[in-house]
């Protein structure tokens, strides 16, 4: 018998009372997905914010070299609060509630990270907006990707 089966009487932590409960592994997968989603979104929106043309590949290389470790550190540092937010939302079944909460959290975290790194929002303002939106979108997509996978596994497990 697995740990989940022992703890919850099922292979899923989701119940009628906690329809959006999650395991730590599911949370870690969501954080990793958010970090992975941020890489292309951050380069794309950052390039737009800086006004970089499509043919200028140097920006993509520089953004990737610096962006990957910085966004990894930001993901690790922001994960505890995201985990607490997820715990608060376990009873909420509606996707819109989760999407809104994680979009707002991601945007606020993205903006705060810019303050922590630079002591002010990134200049020009279009870049600050771009990275804030990129973080918001990546956090939502990380949640969405993992949520769909977990709920699909629950459906498949019930059908067996």
Confidence of residue 99 (pLDDT cuts 50, 70, 90): very high
Query: Whole-number mean pLDDT of the chain?
Result: 87
Q: Is the pLDDT of residue 139 over 60?
A: yes
**pTM score > 0.75 for this model?**
yes
- Give residue limits of the domains in the chain: 26-154
Q: What is the pLDDT of residue 29?
A: 97
* SS3 per residue for the chain: CCHHHHHHCCCCCCCCCCCCCCCHHHHHHHHHHHHHHHHHHHHHHHHHHHCCCCCCHHHHHHHHHHHHHHHHHHHHHHHHHHHHHHHHCCCCCCHHHHHHHHHHHHHHHHHHHHHHHHCCCCCCHHHHHHHHHHHHHHHHHHHHHHHHHHHHHHHHHHHC
Q: Is the pLDDT of residue 160 over 50?
A: no
pLDDT, one tens digit per residue, over 49-83 is 877 765 566 777 887 888 899 999 999 999 999 99
């Amino acid at each position: 018998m697995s740990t989940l089966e022992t703890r919850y009487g099922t292979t899923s932590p989701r119940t009628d009372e906690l329809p959006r409960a999650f395991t730590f592994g599911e949370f870690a997968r969501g954080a990793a997905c958010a970090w992975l989603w941020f890489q292309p979104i951050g380069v794309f929106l950052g390039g737009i914010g800086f006004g970089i043309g499509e043919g200028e590949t140097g920006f993509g290389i520089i953004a990737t070299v610096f962006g990957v470790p910085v966004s990894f550190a930001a993901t690790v540092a922001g994960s505890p609060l995201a985990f607490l937010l997820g715990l608060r939302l376990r009873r909420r079944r509606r996707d819109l509630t989760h999407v809104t909460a994680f979009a707002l959290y991601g945007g606020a975290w993205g903006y705060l990270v810019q303050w922590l790194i630079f002591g002010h929002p990134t200049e020009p303002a279009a870049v600050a907006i771009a990275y804030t939106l990129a973080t918001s979108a990546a956090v939502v997509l990380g949640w969405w990707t993992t949520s769909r996978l977990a709920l699909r596994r629950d459906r498949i497990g019930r059908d067996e």
